[in-house]
Amino acid sequence: MKRIEIYDTTLRDGTQRKDISLSVNDKLNIARRLDELGVAFIEGGWPGSNPKDAEFFKRAARMTWKHARIAAFGSTCQANKSPSEDANIQALLEAETPYCTVVGKTSILHVTDVLRTTRQNNLRMIEESVAHLRAHGRQVIYDAEHFFDGYKEDAEYALATLEAATRGGAETAVLCDTNGGTMPWEIAEIVRVVRQRLNIPLGIHAHNDSECAVANSITAVKEGCIQVQGTINGYGERCGNANLCSIIPNLELKLGLQALPEGHLVQLSDISRYVAEVANLTYDEHLPYVGRAAFAHKGGIHVAAMRRNERSYQHIDPRLVGNQMTVVVSELSGRGNLLSKAEEYGIQITDEEQVNRVLKTVKQLEAQGFSFEAAEASVVMMFKRQEKDYKPPFELIDFSAEVEHRQGRGIFAEATVKVRVDGEVIHTAAEGNGPVNALDLALRKALVARYPNINNFHLVDYKVRILDGHNGTNATTRVLIETQNGSKSWSTVGASTNIIEASWQALVDSIEYGLLVCNDYQE
């Protein structure tokens, strides 16, 4: 099987994305995970640009890498210097990496207007920089910046820059679509010409400014490139880089090529989410292959077909990339959605009408402003409450919540809750920093003696969304609550024109579901 080299530049090009800043420890932790994934190269940064990257290479040199080769990134020497006197080239050597990736100018526009030098001097800079690093025992990958734009400006000169890198001893010449504006058919035509002209392995480095980075990378491989540069989740400057989380499974599952060591593709979803977490970015649930919504099915017709054959609405088995199929419950659901959800949560369906009643309730409540896509625990409670012998752990009799301002104390809230537990009426009160917090504390106080596990339930997220803002303070409010007990978490929903009522609905579902999962009460 033909092997394609995956060159990951998340730690360098990826960090040029707005809102990303990684510490040295962050970069080392991500590098370890990339090595476990099995990429061929990890580009750690630009040692000549900042102390953080220099420290990364210092610490990386003391580590053992199973699969990846560490590469330091830098540019050719300056126009008025030789490589031996150039600080950037010296920093590449001091990084002590087995590979150095050198970027040079291909575009005449950049040679004359950015570097402000001559065509010939730029060729000298490329050849001598590569040769100097090779003379000091480094393998060199040459990144031809703005190659495709440069080729359109002056094809012969663009090819001459690659030939200069080849004369210097570059191991691979990487063709860069730096501005991200080249179309796939242009990539194909130009790579084809370069292959005929150059006797050196080629790579592709695509940016996503025209939403073609993945397509351009796959096209380049089809035309003979053996190395693909990109980032996890497509992170990068402006609109991002080519997304390796899409490219790698496309190469392996669609083209039959090997991009990772055998059996490692299953790690892809996990590392995608890990990098997002370390980078402190909101994870894109809709990423192809690895996003949690990539194999989520909502439409009733789709789910009905999926229950008969999972291939009916999925292009691959999600388990191949470490992902899983999910079924979403909403007003678009059919019976299949609810049957699948019941099976997922181990609910035994003994009455066919039970499913119909829950389905009718879901559709009615969603019309009122509820949303069950991210509140599956509320759906489970609907099923449980439909069972003939179901006994709830508590029954609400009354609740009240007041918010006051008192001189010398400021704003505070107080709530009272009256519930029936095992036939006993319990009446409690609690103060909180707001009405919802006070209600939560009062309800817990009423239940804790009978259900001590409630002390382990922690509200970890509370989201409020106004559904019809044109109604002002009379608008319908949707409340989503996420609760956690150790490693388990669940989400519930409520909706009302009264935010306290919406919060109470979500809160009751949350507590009741948690007690059910913890087996704290007998039905």
Write the secondary structure of 265-326 as one string of H (helix), E (strand) and C (coil): HHHHHHHHHHHHHHCCCCCCCCCCCCCCCCCEECCHHHHHHHHHCHHHHCCCCHHHHCCCCE
Spatial contact of 523 and 389, defined as CB atoms under 8 Å apart: yes
Per-residue pLDDT in tens (0 to 9) along the chain, 523 residues: 689 999 999 999 999 999 999 999 999 999 999 999 999 999 999 997 888 999 999 999 999 999 999 999 999 999 999 999 999 999 999 999 999 999 999 999 999 999 899 999 999 999 999 999 999 999 999 999 999 999 999 999 999 999 999 999 999 999 999 999 999 999 999 999 999 999 999 999 999 999 999 999 999 999 999 999 999 999 999 999 999 999 999 999 999 999 999 999 999 999 999 999 999 998 898 999 999 888 877 666 666 776 777 777 789 999 999 998 776 665 555 556 656 656 665 666 666 666 666 666 667 766 766 666 667 787 777 777 777 778 888 998 999 999 888 787 788 899 999 999 989 999 999 998 888 889 999 999 999 999 998 889 988 888 888 776 566 666 788 888 898 988 788 888 888 888 888 898 899 989 988 888 776 655 4
Nearest to 223 by CA among 260, 277, 186: 186
User: pLDDT value at position 523?
Assistant: 46
**Domain covering 5-278 in this structure, CATH number:** 3.20.20.70
CATH of 395-517, one of 3.40.50.1000, 3.90.550.10, 3.30.160.270, 3.40.50.12160: 3.30.160.270
* Helix (H) or strand (E) segment spanning residue 340: helix 335-344
Round to whole Å and give the CA distance between 458 and 514.
10
User: pLDDT value at position 404?
Assistant: 86
User: pLDDT value at position 258?
Assistant: 97
Tokens of 437: 């917090």
User: pLDDT value at position 378?
Assistant: 79
- 3-state SS, residue 97: coil
Amino acid at 26: D
How far is residue 167 from each of residues 29, 127, 474, 497, measured CA to CA in Å? Answer: 37, 6, 74, 73
366-405 residues labelled b (16+ CB within 10 A) or e (exposed): beebbbbbebbbbbbbbbbebeeeeebbbeeeebebeeee
Tokens of 522: 């007998």
Q: Do domains 5-278 and 395-517 have the same CATH topology?
A: no
Longest Cα–Cα distance of the chain, Å, equals: 93
Give the contacts of 440 (CB within 8 A, at least 6 positions apart).
432, 459, 507
Domain spans of the chain, in order of start: 5-278, 296-356, 395-517
236-285 confidence digits (pLDDT tens): 999 999 999 999 999 999 999 999 999 999 999 999 999 999 999 988 98
User: pLDDT value at position 143?
Assistant: 98
414-428 confidence digits (pLDDT tens): 999 999 998 999 999
